[in-house]
Amino acid sequence: MDAKSKGSGMDYWKKIVILLCAGWVTIWVYRSALSPAYPQINASLGGNITDTALGFISTCYFFGYVAMQIPAGFLVDKIGKKKVLIPGFIVFGLAALLISQATSISMIYIGSVLAGLGCGSFYGSAYSLTSQNIPKEKRSFSTAIVNSGSAVGSGLGLILSSFLVVQLQFPWQTMMYISVALIVVMLIAFVAIIRNNKEDAEFLAQSEVAEAEAEAAAVAKDAPVVEKEHVSVKKLFAPKMLFAYILYFATCYGYYMTVTWLPNFLGTERGFEGAAIGFSASLVAFASIPGALFFSRLADKYMHKKVQFIVILELLAAAMLLFTVQATNSTFLLISLIMYGFLGKLAVEPIIISWLGENAPKVGIGTTLGVFNFFGMMSSVIAPTLTGSISDATGSKVMGFYISVILLVVGTILFLLANLNKKQKA
């Protein structure tokens, strides 16, 4: 379908891809801005904050983010994407302002929870928009472009924070002001580009007419017609769906543990200094962009091989995390990080989402995506604080990497077994 944006010759779905990519950039600049500045945050608040307490900043953000996933998915289905996204980003911007004015760690925790609640509006809205508007044959690749915003934002946040705050010694609050400016730009873009409920309903009605015509043509050729599905707990938690949720939990655990603690790990345990910390940590994000585009293009070309792509990429990513902590020199460590980025979460996630879109109930996709992301993001609540606690107890974050590897291997095996069972039944 060739829906065009208002006042523009560009296809609406292409504008959606660009808009959502920019949304992820904004969210991830904020998400990655604080971790390189943990020592500066600690110093500004008295210098007595433990690694566990600093890791809890990320946990608070992700707690709010996770808490919003299912409610936001439900609201997307009920009132529309635009009415969920815009209030969410307003809360996000106010939260970043609150953190910039924080005089205690408790204020940062409160601001982080609010930021998580605000950003939690984005996932269900974003992937409902991609599921409903992007042509099926372009969906994995387009989703990879959307997700590349995460990598760009993460890399920019790490580099800017390390350069401005760590090296040039700007106040750590500078990164919060940058985040607020980006949020304002995104709010204007959401208002200008995303269809309102009435326009969206008209578009979806046209889509349903086209589907009805296709079904009538199938009947005329004695082809089977797929019955419409309804969201139910049984369908949401069917074995193949449940193991996809578990796999996503494991995938996110490794990624968010790495995003939160890799800059600190490189600085305190591997001897990296200044801007080199942010640059090295950002390699994971930037390497993921060509990986996501390459593998999603392959997944679109070989649409029936998505399970194989997912399993191979997940196991290779686990191996790269293992090599990262076992590296005996900085060159080997950096190569392992680059390959983890190329093969890891941001590379495999578009394929998992595309697989989900083909296997999930078609009615209430926002609710399904909310449940899926709820499971995945639960790991982001656990990983930062657990790794910080391990660091306080052992003096090292290495065990945090090992836990990530084990979870990733177990989750991948369970996902593979569920899909092998499905093929045997077929």
**Token representation of residue 303:** 């649409």
pLDDT at 224: 44
pLDDT at 57: 92
Q: Are 69 and 297 in contact (CB under 8 A)?
A: no
pLDDT at 1: 45
Q: Are 288 and 397 in contact (CB under 8 A)?
A: no
Taking the whole predicted model, whether its pTM rises above 0.95 is answered as no
pLDDT in tens, the chain (426 residues): 444 544 456 788 899 999 999 999 999 999 989 988 888 999 999 888 888 898 899 889 988 998 898 888 888 888 888 899 999 999 999 999 999 999 999 999 999 999 999 999 998 888 788 878 888 778 878 888 998 898 899 889 988 998 899 888 899 999 999 999 999 999 999 999 998 766 555 555 555 445 445 544 544 444 444 444 455 677 778 888 899 999 999 999 998 888 778 888 888 888 887 777 778 878 888 898 899 889 888 887 887 888 999 999 999 999 999 999 898 888 898 999 999 999 998 889 888 888 887 777 666 666 777 788 888 888 878 888 899 899 989 999 899 999 999 999 999 999 999 988 655 554
Cα-Cα-Cα-Cα dihedral sign, residues 11, 15, 20, 22: positive
Q: Are 50 and 41 in contact (CB under 8 A)?
A: no
Other beta carbons within 10 angstroms of residue 391's beta carbon come to 24
**Token representation of residue 291:** 């990986």
Q: Which helix (H) or strand (E) holds 394?
A: helix 365-394
Mention every residue, 6+ apart, whose C-beta is less than 8 A from residue 50: 388, 392
135 dihedral zone (left: phi>0; alpha: psi -120 to 50; beta): beta
